[in-house]
Amino acid sequence: MTDPRLETLAHNLVHYATELKEGEKVLINMNGDQAEPLVAILIKKVYEAGAVPFVNQINPRLLRGMLMQASAEQMDVMAESDRLLMSRMDAFIGIGSTRNSSETSDVPGDKMNIYMENYVTPVHMEERINNTRWVVLRYPTDSMAQSSGRSREGFEDFYFQVCNLDYARMSRAMDKLVNLMESTDKVRITGPGTDLRFSIKGMNAIKCDGKVNIPDGEVYTAPLKESVEGTLAYNCPAVYQGVTYENISFQFEKGKIISAASNDTARINKVLDTDEGARYIGEFAIGVNPYILDPMKNTLFDEKIMGSFHFTPGNAYENADNGNKSSVHWDLVCIQTEPYGGGNIYFDDVLIRENGIFVAPDLLDLNPENLK
């Protein structure tokens, strides 16, 4: 018997997230092999909407084997064909269902950079993100349950609570934060090890309300590229290319990360040296999902943590573009709720969020008791 929660999720992906219309084409991309139950329902839902499904599956173990000796020419050929397919799509649904989130952790850095620059950037950063209605999500797996410290059944209950919440309600509550961010010049963020200052003057603010990520719950913009000054200590572990980094801290001058440290300082600096844009920030976002309170080393969930913000080295999005370009886009998260040490956010010297809770009168609807 099909889990009715999967039916609800598939319906929302087709009719809310991607808003598929008759005759439109959608690429359903499954990374891993465990999301087949959801993909099977999605195919039916897409056809019922009068749209046309295309399905692609990635085997992470085989991808790792190929990347170990990958060449730029090889990735260019892959990108050429896959970008052509992507260019024919109206929408994209990407589902992660890997058994091992560290599958590519031992791919040499230079080979991973080739993959990111010659394949991921043209196919996804340039074509998919800019030219399709896209949504990405994860399917509940044993490895995700372990990372979250839950049983499989407990994690599935959490997963569907988070993923099937009322995003339309959240979207309405986000509008005032969007307006405030778009009228703000100076931002200051303080907390343990953090005193960060930058400007978002004139930048667009974009609400993420279940249209591009499931789970969702953030409003993002970008700092003016050379405006970032100060220090930032992240308190959320982060996985990049299969490697887990902890205790990340940055020092900024004129927008650039001039000093970076973590549990593997040498390796994180190699990531930041990928290209010129990797040491500048491409995104600043505020997380508001009321059901996500703790990190689980999965960026798609962690960046939505209620009371968090993320400050992203690398590429800026086209709809909130500060001019920074990079093959890196690494969402690093800092949680400011009291169990994680607290912290404050100020817009133009006015306190808008204290210890993860909004205190600005216009933003109270974004606090968890009003979103659940």
Express each pLDDT in 117-126 by its tens digit: 999 999 998 9
**Whether residues 223 and 300 fall in one domain:** yes
pLDDT surpasses 80 at 2: no
- Helices 152-163, 4-12: axis angle to 10 degrees equals 30
Q: What is the pLDDT at residue 114?
A: 95
Q: Decide which of 99, 129, 163 is a domain's last residue.
A: 163
What is the model's pTM? Answer: 0.82
pLDDT value at position 100? Answer: 84
User: Both 194 and 100 in a single domain?
Assistant: no
Q: Which residue has the higher pLDDT, 11 or 104?
A: 11
Judge whether residue 165 has pLDDT over 80: yes
- pLDDT, tens only, 27-46: 999 999 999 999 999 999 99
Write the pLDDT tens digit of every residue in 63-115: 999 999 999 999 999 999 999 999 999 999 999 998 887 888 899 989 999 99
User: Is the domain of 267 the same as that of 298?
Assistant: yes
**Chosen domain end from 136, 163, 190:** 163
Do the beta carbons of residue 290 and residue 300 sit within 8 Å?
A: no
Assess whether 252 and 337 both reside in one domain. Answer: yes
Averaging pLDDT over each range in 197-201, 237-241, 292-296, which range is the top one?
Answer: 197-201
- Name the residue range of residue 285's domain: 167-371
Q: Is residue 183 domain-shared with residue 143, that is, in the same domain? A: no
Give the Cα separation of 216 and 200 in Å (integer).
22
Q: Are 122 and 194 within one domain?
A: no
Residue among 333, 271, 267 nearest 301 (CA): 333
What's the pLDDT band for 53 if we cut at 50, 70, 90?
very high
Domain count, the chain: 2
Q: Which of 163, 182, 199 is the last residue of a domain?
A: 163
The answer to whether residues 114 and 206 belong to one domain is no
- Evaluate the CA torsion angle 162, 165, 167, 170 in order and state its sign: negative
Q: How confident is the model at residue 1 (pLDDT cuts 50, 70, 90)?
A: low
pLDDT at position 372, please? Answer: 86
41 and 147: one domain? yes
pLDDT digits (tens, 9 = 90+) for 323-345: 999 989 999 999 999 999 999 99
Are residues 144 and 251 located together in one domain of the fold? no
Do 195 and 157 belong to one domain? no
Residues 63 and 114 in one domain: yes
Q: For residues 189 and 269, state if they share a domain.
A: yes
Q: What is the enclosing helix (H) or strand (E) of 160?
A: helix 152-163
